[in-house]
Chain A
Amino acid sequence: MEIAAVARRTAIGVIGVLVLSAPVRGQTSPPASTPGQPRWDAGGGFSLLSMRDEDVGDAVDDGNGWEGGYQLRLDVGRYWTPHLRLGIYAASGPRFRTAALAYVDANGRSFPTLIITNARLVTLAPGVTYQFRDNQFLHPYVTGGVQIGLLRMHRQRYPDAVRAPVPVARIDERQNTVHARPLAAAGFKAYFNRRVFVRPEVLAGFGPGGIRQFTLHLGAGADF
């Protein structure tokens, strides 16, 4: 009996709430959600970056502590909510080519030899992005992630190029180095229409001693 009374009161309450919350003619309808929100975005772009010498290893060491270069970058990401995006980018570059003198001793004299180093950095960076604002034509965002850098170095010395009275050993060494660093980025997506956007971004990679890499990026892409 008591249970039936409680059930009846609950039913009346639920019906009352439903009736009161039903749309009334002339009432302002609330902003609708965005069911047609694109789930993916992809794009590419161009970056100017500055990085610490240590991250380039022996490839470049001109003593000023920082090296500049450019990168070409491809991005892809998926929106799990209208604000949260998981994404990854792959970037190629910068490339460095240096020539260093190394001396070979023969018959009590030193003969200069030339060692050429080619280095190329490839970066993969998965990250989580939080996008501000809802369904606008401009969305600021912040990103946190990991920057995985693969540095490929190739050192070469050609014996034929050395005029020494003794044979000089050929050098042909390849070395790959991988480093991972936390990254933080901030930027915004500014749209030209409902799908196509331009994406300026600043990005910093952190490591021992603070910022190890600083990047200015300008990309473009589309939602789909």
Chain B
Amino acid sequence: MTRRLRLGATLLVLLAFTRPMLAQPAPTDAERWRAFSQHLEAGARIEVRLRDGTSVRGALVSVDETALQVLPYTRVELPVRSVAFREIDFIDRWHQGWMPGTKTLVAIGVGFGVFLTVAAIVFAAYD
């Protein structure tokens, strides 16, 4: 009987301590993204994917309680855009690669080189 009482009391104590812990609300996505953003340095290149399916690429300007501010990376400069944490689906660092113009010239150069090589091989084969 005493053993049962002890076990019951232990369980009660455990439940009493764990209940408030269980009841503590888990951090929301918005809070997680705010915490994440606060660890990024100003000027960091980021890509922010929004819940509506759109995304913003740019440089992080600042972070406040409810939103982060991004300077969009666009051809024609745009004003800083505020993105609410509750709208954010995902944030990732973004690395700028070659510009499209450079990629285009390289692709054309490679294509032309391959064409010349094939043509040279064909001519050599006919000789």
Contact = CB atoms under 8 A, between A and B. Distances in A.
Contact of A27 (B56, B84, B102, B104): B84
A142 interface: no
A198 B105 contact: yes
Interface residues of B, number: 28
A193 B99 contact: yes
Given A28-B50, A28-B87, A135-B74, A200 B79 contact: no
B101 A135 contact: no
Nearest to B88: A28
Contacts of A135: 74-76, 78
Interface of B: 50, 54, 56, 65-67, 72, 74-79, 81-87, 99-105, 108
B75 A28 contact: no
Contact of A36 (B54, B77, B81, B100): B77
A138 B76 contact: no
Given A32-B72, A36-B77, A135-B76, 5 more contacts: A27-B84, A29-B82, A32-B78, A32-B81, A218-B108
A224 interface: no
Contacts of A198: 101, 104-105
B75 A200 contact: no
Interface in A31-61: 31-32, 34, 36-38
A192 B75 contact: no
B76 to A, nearest CB: 5
Contacts of A32: 72, 78-79, 81
Interface of A: 25-29, 31-32, 34, 36-38, 135-138, 188, 190-194, 196-198, 200, 218
7 contacts: A26-B86, A27-B67, A28-B83, A36-B77, A194-B77, A196-B101, A200-B108
Nearest to B54: A31
A136 B75 contact: yes
A130 B81 CA distance: 28
A80 to B, nearest CB: 16
Contacts of B105: 198
Contacts of B72: 31-32
B87 A137 contact: no
A105 B103 CA distance: 63
Nearest to A31: B81
Q: Which of B72, B76, B77, B108 has the most CB of A within 10 A?
A: B76
A192 B101 contact: yes
Contacts of B79: 32
Contacts of A29: 81-83
Nearest to A35: B76
Contacts of B67: 25-28
A192 B102 contact: yes
Given A26-B66, A28-B87, A137 B99 contact: yes
A137 B50 CA distance: 21
A26 B101 contact: no
A34 B101 contact: no
B104 A136 contact: no
Nearest to B66: A26
